[in-house]
Structure 1
Amino acid sequence: MHHTAKPLGLFPLSTLALALALGAQAPNLAAEEEKRLETVTVISTGLRGQQRTVADSPAPIDIINSEQLLKTGRAELSEAISKLLPSFNFGTNIAGYNSVNRPLSNRSLAPVYTLVLVNGKRRHNGATAARGSIDNSGANAVDIDLIPVSAVSHIEVLKDSAAAQYGSDAVAGVVNIILKSSASGGHVESSYGKLYSGQGESIKFAGNQGFELGDGGFFHASADARKRGTAQWNDKADRSLRAYADDAREAAWDRVAIKNGDPDIEAFNLAYNAELPLADDFSLYSYATYGERDAEAYNYYRFPNGTASVPEVFPNGYYPVNNIKDTDYQALFGGKGRLAGWDWDLSTTYGRNNNHHSSDLNINPSLGTASPLKFNDLATFRFEQWVNNLDVTRSYENLFDLSLPTQVSLGLEHRWERYSTFAGDEAAYITGSYNAASGAQAALTIRPENEVDLIRNNVAGYLDLGFDPSDRWYIGAAARVEHYDDDSGNTFGFKLNSRYELTDTLALRGTLGSGFRAPSLTQIAYNVYDNRVTTDAFGNVVPAVTYLTPSGSALAKALGGDDLKPEKSRNLGLGLAWKPAPRTNITLDAYLIDIDDRITLTSNVYGSAVNSIIAAAGLQAGTYVNFYTNAFDTRTRGIDLVADHSTDFGRWGDVRWSAAFNYNKTTIEDVKRSPQLLADAGINLIGRDRKGDLTVASPRTKWVLGANWNLGNLSTSLQTTRYGSVSTLALNSVGDRSFGAKWVTDLDVGYTFFDRLTLSLGGTNIFNVRPDKNAVYNANGLARYGNPPFSPAGGFWYTKIAYDF
């Protein structure tokens, strides 16, 4: 790919009216509320070795507290974040086995570009490669839904690159999940709800309890369990489709040909957080999480008269079932203290995610009546990560006699990663003699020759300096070097940021930095057979066998692939923080992020022009092939606006108003060219569909408006979110589809009895708003909602009872 210098360009800054009923400033509010707010806003994310309030931060930080998370109703942790922050979007993915892990993007960048920490320590990644919906990066992002919501004290979200401070993959920012750490008290709750359609029945139980540990220490335990029923919102099959040969059974058929949608989920998560002081300047600490999640996803109806069915086995056809079981855990142990004037922190953490696929209602049609009716082992994916950190920090009032207060932080990190896949039952992928479709249907399968076991080590060191030239001016500088023991090699990244108080109420802040993201092990090695459906050049859903081959394989290289290179990024940020009144905060931040050699999945390669190449690789004729490649140079630019204000209405209580806005635009600066063989045949290696994933599939604008009213024991939270329009592009422009902007409103009303017992009634999407029906027509009745940035399931109501002790 040819790179040319790029001007920074102009940010599309527009004047925004902040008329959200910010109202007059309250003359007096409760001291307890002031204290609570000050406690919540003390953060350490984005800074090494020091703490600041959100208002004083040199980088944009958002805080989500546990109360806000619990008021998001049906949402799990990842979706809850997207509901509360305008720069995050939670994409939908309703296609079989991809329905469980869903993308949480920040600033329209894939999940893998946002680093996830727990208590400031790196969280291990999941084992599932992103493929489907709008994220086709192939990277294995962190699955934060396997962290119990009940364990979370608050979440600090750094909306700025921090690659030089925390790791080269923190390109779009950092999500730091802070676990509860109280040594006493607890909370238990139970909730029940359903979609307006009557589907998706949800039951949750959660609790946490703090205990004293030693002299001044704590042990805080948390657990939650949840069950969510399946939900579909598809249309009936077209009358042109015929499932049965005889008229009587055809007339009796309910014409439900698709059951894609939200899968049935049963899950539980456990966690603890602990610290034990052993001396005034030394303590031990630890945390751990454990989670299991079982999902059951239905798929397209296999007609009894179709090639994917065997009438002697399924005379009435069948809906193949994907069973996905995630087992996930992470444990951390560490010590911290003070030695010779330096604060030190030494820790080690190991995490593993295991993703197992099976099917208890399925068939390999090519085996005829000899086929099993269930497959206990289709494929297994596993990701492991072991991380060791040593961090030291010290404050100097007069370093080197420069009369310049300085914070010095430095550290070392070793990271070991392993990605493994395991083959499934032979009967799931072999081709039998029966004249029918081959392979277990709607299933992802791994054959022995496709198994991988890839290990990588990374060693990194960083230096972070903070200077205070005056009471009004802060300057930060950080540098990081990393070494990978594979082809990713060595890298150097830097970050410069500064904050200057123009007045007592107005501050200017800015950031300049670089990043480097080595290809994920999944992007390098992931290769599977997919016996589901795919899309053709016009966006139509068609039955097909798709093989995702490694980028360095002979097949991929024959089709224009190559070994993956690291991605390189540059970022620039500039913002204002304004506090016009004691109870009013407004921040406005503009950003620009350039990423070179961005990795994505190619478009499907198939057809007569490449049949000989595909056959030479030992694949069936007509197989669709794709692989990951360094496809794009992109530029992302945008603005974040956040405002909040509190109004005291006297005996009518107080209201905390909030408004947040994000504008975000990604453009493609360069794209990988198709090899001559494909170009001559009119085949695009990187087609319009993949370009659309990055440029128009996420909303360009998003508003989040909220009001929280507290009147004695009554608490009401109202929030409405506007998602901007999105589009889905096909290889051929005839298949392009656009979906209009929508407002989605959530409401939660709670009342507390006896200062401990709270009853709540609420709803998400209370006006039952659905995306536009504009996807490509599908005779089977596949819902024409495309890939919207909010759930297409419609309205959901819930009740909740909670007790604090």
Structure 2
Amino acid sequence: MITEKLLSRSIRSALPYALMLSCASVAFTAQVRADDEDDTTETAAAAAGTANIEKMVVTGSRGAARSVKDSPVPVDVIADDELKSVSFSDTNDVLKTLVPSYSVDRQPISDGGTFVRPATLRGMDTDKTLVLVNGHRRHRSALVQIGGSGTQGPDISTIPTSALKTVEVLRDGAAAQYGSDAIAGVINFQLKDNSEGGSFSADWGQYYKGDGDTLTLTANKGFALGDKGFLSISADYVDSDPTTRAQQYCESYFCVTDPSTFPAGYGDYATYVAGLGSASLNSDGNSVVQSWGNPKTKSKTVFFNSGYTVSEALDLYAFGNYTDKSGSGNFFYRYPRNGTIMNIRLEDGSTWNALSMYPGGFTPLFSGDITDKSLVAGAKGMLSSGLGYDLSGRYGSNEIDYTLSNTINPSMGDQSPTTFHPGNLINTEAQLQGDFTQDFDVSSFSSPLLFAFGFSYMKESYELQGGDEASYEAGTYSVADPWGFCNDDGTATDAGLAVIANGSSLNCANSSDPVYQIMGVGSNGFPGYSPAYSGKYNRHSYAGYIDLSADVTDKLFLQTAFRYEDYSDFGSKLVGKIAGNYRITDKFGVRASYGTGFRAPTPGQQGTTNVSTRITAGMPVATGLFPAGGAVAQALGASKLKPETSTNYTLGLTADFDSGVGMTLDFYRIDLKDRMYSISTMNVSSDPTSAAYDNYLALVDAGVSGAESIGGVFYFQNMFDTRTTGMDFVTNYGFDNALGYTSLTLSANYNKQEITQDKTGAFNAEDTFDFENGAPKWRGVFTVNHTIDDFTFTARANYYGSYKNSDGEDTITDTQKFGQEMLVDLEVSYQLTETMKITVGGRNILDNYPDKGQFEVGQGRIYRDDSVVDWNGGYYFTRFSMDF
């Protein structure tokens, strides 16, 4: 309540000035952290009694640079050296390590989510954080995450750290300045712009368990384009082996090591055990039948950044990338009699099941080949009138090509292939953008009034390309008694009598006879996209913005912005923002902001379809995700999606002491209305006596092929309103000492989410509890960097607070509290020569793990796979790097 009152007062006091300015856009900046290389010089100079040189960074192109103490909004600026100090090859993990309010987890069995990992900023998913490269919007991934918020955002892993000069993370809503998606904040990746020199590094490491070997090769080279231009090319190659953190599959209904659970009529246990050793059993040859861990991945990426000065009034620029990334992981183990390996009657009356093909059962292998490419080109400069301009066009495409192997289409029986192509997902975006700035002298202001305005047109599409026919075909055994062996009264037909005469055990009077078995349709684990669920979704949008910003007095900076966007599928929306910074003294300041925003659901979120195996009540169940506006979801009671709207409040304090210590403390609140989320899974049953039978009939009426084999359905809805409140604290200090130079950085984040209104009633008690309590509320990062002669020592502690998980679905029956964790990283670098350096180190050197899960585990899983606390254990590495 105190924070809310302070925010309200600051907003009321700033409003008259904001109205006087009329409209503005943020140009957020910050001081490079003290543990960056340049800051070493800066802080050392301060310690020696010389002037403290303040570093300036501009994220956008709409205003002059401002220091961190003068910025009206909180921002993290991560320089090249700090990015290199983290041994991860995935940029997601690098940001997670350095920015406490940024989180990403590992989802080993989550379809495409195994390879394209969803991230959050301030508890908001990727689709609520705008991602920029060189200040231009980055295109989205083709993957819509199944379940949860269904996030569809850019695949940040396709942006390698080797191509980056800095990363700027704006932790504040900025939809009025940069557009839809900027509800939680903005991440801007600034590419290297060197015209000469370059770098190379080779990094190898593995986990303490002896798996997960990762080789990373990076290179960058700068070229001069005449004497007025540059071309910087960066390349990455990453090859990572899988990990396994699992135990043998052993449940009450089936245990690999317990012969008593082996079902009668499915061969003998000894043959089954012998089959467990077959190479086709699982994806990586482990002794356990189902692996839980990191997938096997390989990626090749090339980024370029270029610019050329034609004249004082014209600069040309272009940048882009091409990424080829592949990955593979497994699905749930298919044991005898699990609904997939079931006895059926063939045309000759004999019985058959998939153990004939896979004697030890099987674990489907799911693979994805991702092709990501982009190109941005533009011209910018300043006319003689003082009008600054930036005209640009961009194109981005992300395509995922799926392959499913080591599985079957159960409805095809013994005629089923074992490898399938379920289809492709393609997301494309094209945008034209114009940005303009003009300074005006206002006699009563301490600085010129910056007037900025701009426009954009964007066209985007999302396409589901159909798979091969076998991946979605409803085969012979998708219906009961496909060969017509039995009459309705339980007697045998002539065809049935004929196979009985030939020795068949057919018994039409027995309702459990394999002749009545109905098998699932489509490639088991991930049925392909049929023509009925394939297609392309297109939309376009227009946007325009205006903004003004100025130092109203020597101590007060104010800005305000308004943006109008018009979507072909969601209509128009006007949003705005006001922000300011007041310098109480040279050392202390206060800043605050208030803004509104909205996010239009993406074409992918409106059109994606997926049927996959999920865990429902502890059991693997074929579960279907259907578009909210489609016939299937509509038949189940869904409403069409609408935009999410937000209101953001921030209040912050800044301090900058003569000793070199800098501090920022920012409080925030984000009210998000009509938040999109998947409903709790609705059960489906073809049993007329079941309460879920009506859902089955709805699927049949909607023409869903294989409805008999689907055990659950869900869809996205504007489920509820939420409130996110939190705090960010950052402090750094660097000093010279008898042992060299030492820098300290401490960052902490507190983030709490709560549902303020459930608008549909489709979210059960368990999902509600886990949404509000399933992630640590406290996160912290403490880094110590020490340099002495040719040695550099870096120690980093990542802290995760406690969190909870529940069980019980409609009624909470039990909860588990996960304890706090501290993961410690340590590395040592030695400068071999002026250009070459060797580094050795480890992540999570104490080999800590989160608490073992009590709920939503099993099937060989030990740890909750969606835990933000890494559960792979310790990792050691060595790196050779060279600058030239």
TM over 0.5: yes
- In 2: Cα distance, 1:8 partner to 1:759 partner: 50
- In 2: Cα distance, 1:27 partner to 1:247 partner: 70
Partner of 2:722: 634
- Match 2:594 to one of 507, 512, 516: 512
Cα deviations by residue, 1:104-133 (Å, 9 ceiling, x for unpaired): 10111111111000000000011101225x
Q: Secondary structure at the match of 2:552?
A: strand
Residue pairs, 1:713-724, within 5 angstroms: 713-724=790-801
**Offset, 1:777:** 7.0
Partner of 1:297: 329
- Of the structure 1 ranges 577-586 and 477-486, higher mean CA displacement relative to structure 2 is found in 577-586
- In 1: Cα distance, 2:381 partner to 2:560 partner: 25
**Offset, 1:9:** 6.7
- Asked if the contact 2:107–2:865 (Cα under 8 Å) also holds between the matched residues in 1, the reply is no
- Asked if the contact 2:856–2:864 (Cα under 8 Å) also holds between the matched residues in 1, the reply is no
Partner of 2:137: 122
- Asked if the contact 1:776–1:784 (Cα under 8 Å) also holds between the matched residues in 2, the reply is no
- Asked if the contact 1:147–1:270 (Cα under 8 Å) also holds between the matched residues in 2, the reply is no
Cα deviations by residue, 1:31-69 (Å, 9 ceiling, x for unpaired): 5999xx999942223672322222321111101112222
- In 2: Cα distance, 1:408 partner to 1:142 partner: 31
Q: Secondary structure at the match of 1:770?
A: coil
Partner of 1:767: 846
> Is 1:419 matched up with 2:462?
yes
- In 1: Cα distance, 2:235 partner to 2:76 partner: 26
**Offset, 1:778:** 5.3
Q: Which amino acid aligns with 1:287?
A: F
Residue pairs, 1:245-256, within 5 angstroms: 245-249=267-271, 256=288
- Match 1:592 to one of 669, 674, 685: 669
Q: Secondary structure at the match of 2:301?
A: strand
- Match 1:431 to one of 464, 474, 490: 474
Cα deviations by residue, 1:501-522 (Å, 9 ceiling, x for unpaired): 1001001100011001111112
Partner of 1:751: 830
- Asked if the contact 1:379–1:444 (Cα under 8 Å) also holds between the matched residues in 2, the reply is no
Partner of 2:284: none
Unaligned stretches of 5+ residues in structure 2: 8-34, 257-261, 278-286, 342-353, 478-516, 684-691
Partner of 1:534: 615
Q: Secondary structure at the match of 1:308?
A: coil
Residue pairs, 1:365-444, within 5 angstroms: 365-375=410-420, 377-398=421-442, 405-434=448-477, 435=517, 436-444=519-527
Residue pairs, 1:638-653, within 5 angstroms: 638-650=726-738, 652-653=739-740
Partner of 2:215: 203
- In 2: Cα distance, 1:381 partner to 1:421 partner: 5
Partner of 1:453: 536
- Asked if the contact 1:614–1:623 (Cα under 8 Å) also holds between the matched residues in 2, the reply is no
- Asked if the contact 1:775–1:786 (Cα under 8 Å) also holds between the matched residues in 2, the reply is no
Q: Against the structure 1 CA distance between its residues 533 and 150, is the aligned structure 2 distance closer, same or farther, given a 3 Å change threshold?
A: same
Q: Which amino acid aligns with 2:719?
A: A
Q: Against the structure 1 CA distance between its residues 402 and 657, is the aligned structure 2 distance closer, same or farther, given a 3 Å change threshold?
A: closer
Q: Secondary structure at the match of 1:53?
A: coil
Residue pairs, 1:243-322, within 5 angstroms: 245-249=267-271, 256-303=288-335, 306-309=338-341, 310-322=354-366
Number of residue pairs aligned between Structure 1 and Structure 2: 765
Residue pairs, 1:71-150, within 5 angstroms: 71-97=85-111, 98-132=113-147, 136-150=148-162
Q: Which amino acid aligns with 2:750?
A: Y
- In 1: Cα distance, 2:604 partner to 2:205 partner: 37
Partner of 2:397: 352
- In 1: Cα distance, 2:877 partner to 2:445 partner: 61
Cα deviations by residue, 1:632-659 (Å, 9 ceiling, x for unpaired): 1111111100000012113x11111011
- Of the structure 1 ranges 435-444 and 244-253, higher mean CA displacement relative to structure 2 is found in 244-253
- In 2: Cα distance, 1:525 partner to 1:260 partner: 30
- In 2: Cα distance, 1:411 partner to 1:447 partner: 43
Q: Against the structure 1 CA distance between its residues 777 and 670, is the aligned structure 2 distance closer, same or farther, given a 3 Å change threshold?
A: closer
Q: Against the structure 1 CA distance between its residues 792 and 215, is the aligned structure 2 distance closer, same or farther, given a 3 Å change threshold?
A: same
Q: Secondary structure at the match of 1:581?
A: coil
Q: Against the structure 1 CA distance between its residues 592 and 348, is the aligned structure 2 distance closer, same or farther, given a 3 Å change threshold?
A: same
- Asked if the contact 2:806–2:855 (Cα under 8 Å) also holds between the matched residues in 1, the reply is no
Cα deviations by residue, 1:527-558 (Å, 9 ceiling, x for unpaired): 1222x23323xxx1x23222211111233233
Cα RMSD, aligned residues only: 2.6
- In 2: Cα distance, 1:417 partner to 1:215 partner: 38
**Offset, 1:314:** 1.7
Residue pairs, 1:545-560, within 5 angstroms: 545-560=622-637
Partner of 2:743: 656
- In 1: Cα distance, 2:842 partner to 2:793 partner: 12
> Is 1:471 matched up with 2:571?
no
> Is 1:742 matched up with 2:764?
no
- Asked if the contact 2:6–2:651 (Cα under 8 Å) also holds between the matched residues in 1, the reply is no
Partner of 1:43: 57
- Of the structure 1 ranges 333-342 and 728-737, higher mean CA displacement relative to structure 2 is found in 728-737
Q: Which amino acid aligns with 1:127?
A: A
Q: Secondary structure at the match of 2:700?
A: helix
Partner of 2:585: 503
- Match 1:565 to one of 642, 650, 661: 642
- Of the structure 1 ranges 242-251 and 104-113, higher mean CA displacement relative to structure 2 is found in 242-251
- Asked if the contact 1:74–1:796 (Cα under 8 Å) also holds between the matched residues in 2, the reply is no
- In 1: Cα distance, 2:42 partner to 2:327 partner: 51
TM normalised by structure 2 equals 0.83
- Of the structure 1 ranges 278-287 and 435-444, higher mean CA displacement relative to structure 2 is found in 435-444
Cα deviations by residue, 1:654-675 (Å, 9 ceiling, x for unpaired): 111011111111111111234x
- Asked if the contact 1:574–1:591 (Cα under 8 Å) also holds between the matched residues in 2, the reply is yes
> Is 1:187 matched up with 2:199?
yes
- In 1: Cα distance, 2:698 partner to 2:66 partner: 59
- In 2: Cα distance, 1:348 partner to 1:76 partner: 28
**Offset, 1:776:** 2.2
Q: Against the structure 1 CA distance between its residues 527 and 197, is the aligned structure 2 distance closer, same or farther, given a 3 Å change threshold?
A: same
Q: Against the structure 1 CA distance between its residues 549 and 306, is the aligned structure 2 distance closer, same or farther, given a 3 Å change threshold?
A: closer
- Match 1:60 to one of 53, 70, 74: 74
- Asked if the contact 1:605–1:625 (Cα under 8 Å) also holds between the matched residues in 2, the reply is yes
- Match 2:380 to one of 336, 354, 378: 336
- In 2: Cα distance, 1:129 partner to 1:38 partner: 48
- In 1: Cα distance, 2:336 partner to 2:255 partner: 10
- In 1: Cα distance, 2:461 partner to 2:65 partner: 34
Q: Secondary structure at the match of 2:199?
A: strand
**Offset, 1:216:** 2.5
**Offset, 1:394:** 2.0
Partner of 1:4: none
**Offset, 1:365:** 2.3
Unaligned stretches of 5+ residues in structure 1: 1-6, 12-21, 675-684
Q: Secondary structure at the match of 1:366?
A: helix
Q: Against the structure 1 CA distance between its residues 56 and 725, is the aligned structure 2 distance closer, same or farther, given a 3 Å change threshold?
A: same
- In 1: Cα distance, 2:646 partner to 2:693 partner: 39
Partner of 2:700: 615
Partner of 2:606: 524
Q: Secondary structure at the match of 1:754?
A: coil
Cα deviations by residue, 1:364-405 (Å, 9 ceiling, x for unpaired): 122122111211x21211100111111111222337x87763
Q: Against the structure 1 CA distance between its residues 495 and 777, is the aligned structure 2 distance closer, same or farther, given a 3 Å change threshold?
A: closer
Q: Which amino acid aligns with 1:77?
A: T
> Is 1:494 matched up with 2:576?
yes
- Asked if the contact 2:272–2:360 (Cα under 8 Å) also holds between the matched residues in 1, the reply is no
Q: Secondary structure at the match of 2:563?
A: strand
Q: Which amino acid aligns with 1:389?
A: Q
Q: Secondary structure at the match of 2:411?
A: helix
**Offset, 1:323:** 0.9
**Offset, 1:724:** 1.4
Partner of 1:679: none
TM normalised by structure 1 equals 0.91
- In 1: Cα distance, 2:255 partner to 2:799 partner: 41
- In 2: Cα distance, 1:49 partner to 1:502 partner: 23
